[in-house]
Structure 1
């Protein structure tokens, strides 16, 4: 045993690792393993001590990248701020009371008209809870009404200093969402912030909400640059209204959506604090006022309607990244939020945070990412690029001007198109949606989203701008699944593509499995044949499976030996049928396959979404024509 204990592995150098790696890569270089993110940051396959850069010795110091508290969550635990869903005031009151007994540590819900039209309603919901728990509310366009009602409630008890947390709004984010900019709304909002500053000394009210840009497809660089531009805009606004700099900084809170790229999201939160600290230093604000407070939420952009339980893994990953990144408030979305959450899914969402606190022990670890060569390098790269993006926004006149000119919307769209292309070609996997889809799944499609227009509450004048769309990565494939389901209901059978399986199982299985996965992403069924060893086998299969679409599956050798001959014969006999080939022949052979009748080669780099869209559209037209005939 002592011998085993004393054994040691020989030290290896980076050059030795590189040599071994390139040996495994069979001629490719280690540099071929580098990847480029949507932020245009090049990620290396290995980070070493040579990548180390100076970082603050402890959290709560220097640029705050390591967090704003010296002892992290040991002394300042993050707030469990689950946004409670509700239909009635009574339901919200009941849920709020129950949630505090089950681990909730903040008053958090979306503000509805029912709450703000009556002082009695809000008083009934809050009772005495505002004395014990902080608020965590993005009140959006209803902030003015909500704060007015809250003021009346609290005034009776004389407990203004007991109100803490944040009840915020971000007019610029609302403008971006709704596609209109109102200076009158902005002026009303600024006056309200000044008033609430006098009444609620411990309440943050100026929210910088990057979630709408995140849902539009923005990169981490863009989110950070926009956050800084909005922050600077609000600093100027409120200085003009008479607030002191320390007061303005003390009223601000930043809200970020946390996406699926684990390390990028950690770095995003760390970089945000670096950037805000840089701005606060320029303004000469005291450290205790300039510390960035962050409210985080798991991303709706990454969530799916199909196979919704996978959302549990996504939300868990995102919540983990948020906590490691050093947030102060956290909301975890229920896995079935897109179709209507239940008490069970809401409880699970809250428990994800409790697991991170109590079982993962994250509340006991101070800055777990600190000193990681990879995370620190990523943080620095992200901060540098985000500062450049922020400077570009300012050079173009500031956040409102880049919205008015549509420059910002176009920049975000460029990034979304890259992300969407990667999903469509399945370079980026969404489990249960574009890979490993389950055709037998019973899907409840998205509940109707009620879009609020906060400018209709009062006669505000406004300027129309291009709205930032509310998107999800899985949306296009969900539309395909919905269309396939519609066709099945209308015509009585699931859209099907016949698989002409050449040779024995060993010869066609790999490409058959690939095609099944490819087709199910769009709700199409693959009907596979028995091993096709002759033209008669293929003809019999086509006659027994009345579908318009067929795909050849086999090895390249099988395609040469029998595939070409079978295709030529079938196309002559059944000219109305459409044939595909699983694989990608050599360039000089592609033309002869196309001449023989192959419409498209389907392979690992194919645009899955475009191919399946074309099939479904043609199926719909042909079925309608058959019905009319």
Structure 2
């Protein structure tokens, strides 16, 4: 073959049907449709997306519905702001950390506002003089603290001879505070009128500062799915827009004050699509209000999820946060905070450095700032974006039909909707349909857990006052917490009895007959902080009795092949139950239905298999052990 012939070679064109046929051959009788999965958003994900799934979309970023971003050249002309939220105990520590952060790539001023901080006008004055002209703010504040800080900044800048420009956002979202605390003002009309006045004051003094935050993180941390987060964001945005317009803001002034905050979860492509769909929704809403295109682009501040993080095997959080940060950047955000791997309890210098470097790597080594909308044109991402936007629009309309965001919070309709999704999430981790590495699978028994305050206790303190109206709060959760509670309970038992809580494993037959089941049960028990103590091969009732007698344990699990269960399992179990009637016996695996009643009649409490409710079984075992120790 000469060079000319080589250049003219081409691969034969393949069709979806050919791929489907080949895929089904490898599935050994199953159909390709069996690979379809359903998300918490009730979106069916196909095993393959192709050109047939292509739908009309924006031709370029910065145009049409803004799904591809709000800037034509993306991060090339408008880099995302590295807004690592700085933790501190003292003003001195905050001052030092800020200075250090800006020398290491931080580009936005970000920390939590406290009452103590606002009492130190000297610090704020120095902050404004040294950094505000170079770096935007990126602060989420409660409305009362926001008002106080803006007032202080106004006094400080009033005394300066030079004109100081304050940019970025010092935003408040009263509604998100209400659903965290479980309260509403007794007179919400008066409350929001006063809130709008403070936003007006901020606008008069700092026209370039955004002060209205639509923060969906509390709903995300309560277990909401992406559709709910988007619908809530849209409804909250409309509510605040109405408040500002009623307070004599022009439409353009009101839109310029608004910024949206999202937590980015573990489902990589879903989170990319969530951010893209958010811009579609806001573009549609603001267009209905009559806004020109230049005011319809949604500004987004993102943070990696607290809901997905764990206290056990904490270094896995580095990977989780990296995945979430990657999704946020591809989704097209303007500000980003990457959580430290131990941020749940109290971050360290090392963990904070790793978190900051995650953004720097994505910016300067992965070069995400050099690619304009890398997700654009992906059949999968575009289809997911479209489905999310449509379902979120329906949820937004449902909120509005129920009286708007304030009313659905008052009546607890929204709280119930979020709780339904969270219950499904919990069931999936209890049955291990969904994995949390190092927590409900592949747990390390040697690792010690954390003691101390959880993130939700530290960041979201109560703000109850007399005369306020109680509502159902949305609890700030983490998906791993139930299993961490089990691990902590096991630690408490270990301190009382001097050894790791154990379950004896009765290994039926030779190694090859029981090894697979023993390995499975050991991993199953470990996620609850329980050690699986394996016997020598049990080939008779006598050897089984000897193991149980010498173990001094209360709970046991029979492990073996199905053949071993039928050959000696029943005999061994009957002998053990007769000799040790108070002991509890489990069976590894799930026998056929017609054989299950026999096992129950002979003394098996429960079958432990891949579809078992892991959390429920381990919780029962630990509770039994606690009762025994207390007695």
Q: TM-score range by the shorter chain?
A: over 0.9
d(CA) in 1 for partners of 2:345, 2:148? 29
> Deviation at 1:484?
0.4
> Deviation at 1:128?
1.8
Q: What is the aligned partner in structure 2 of residue 162 from structure 1?
A: 165
Q: What is the aligned partner in structure 2 of residue 535 from structure 1?
A: 541
Does the C-alpha gap of structure 1 residues 293 and 237 become closer, same or farther in structure 2, counting only changes over 3 Å? same
d(CA) in 1 for partners of 2:451, 2:405? 36
Counterparts in 2 of 1:45-444, with a 5 A limit? 45-141=47-143, 142-157=145-160, 162-182=165-185, 183=188, 184-444=190-450
Counterparts in 2 of 1:549-628, with a 5 A limit? 549-625=555-631
d(CA) in 2 for partners of 1:272, 1:529? 56
> Deviation at 1:455?
4.7
> Deviation at 1:186?
2.5
Contact 2:157 / 2:164 at 8 angstroms: preserved in 1? Answer: no
d(CA) in 2 for partners of 1:164, 1:124? 16
The CA deviation string for residues 473-513 of structure 1, in whole angstroms up to 9 with x for no partner, is: 00000000000000110121211000111112111111111
Does the C-alpha gap of structure 1 residues 526 and 8 become closer, same or farther in structure 2, counting only changes over 3 Å? farther
Counterparts in 2 of 1:1-16, with a 5 A limit? 9-16=11-18
Contact 1:305 / 1:446 at 8 angstroms: preserved in 2? Answer: no
Counterparts in 2 of 1:453-492, with a 5 A limit? 455=463, 461-492=467-498
> Deviation at 1:452?
5.3
Does the C-alpha gap of structure 1 residues 506 and 452 become closer, same or farther in structure 2, counting only changes over 3 Å? closer
SS in 2 for 1:157: coil
Contact 1:250 / 1:290 at 8 angstroms: preserved in 2? Answer: no
> Deviation at 1:446?
4.2
TM-score (norm: length of structure 2): 0.96
SS in 2 for 1:162: coil
> Deviation at 1:308?
0.2
d(CA) in 2 for partners of 1:608, 1:452? 31
SS in 1 for 2:219: helix
Contact 1:584 / 1:601 at 8 angstroms: preserved in 2? Answer: yes
d(CA) in 2 for partners of 1:206, 1:460? 26
SS in 2 for 1:132: coil
Does the C-alpha gap of structure 1 residues 574 and 452 become closer, same or farther in structure 2, counting only changes over 3 Å? closer
Contact 1:93 / 1:124 at 8 angstroms: preserved in 2? Answer: no
> Deviation at 1:447?
2.3
d(CA) in 2 for partners of 1:133, 1:79? 9
TM-score (norm: length of structure 1): 0.97
Q: What is the aligned partner in structure 2 of residue 494 from structure 1?
A: 500
Q: 3-12 vs 369-378, which deviates more?
A: 3-12
SS in 1 for 2:390: helix
SS in 1 for 2:303: strand
Contact 1:79 / 1:105 at 8 angstroms: preserved in 2? Answer: yes
**How many pairs are equivalent?**
623
Task: Give RMSD over aligned pairs.
Answer: 1.6
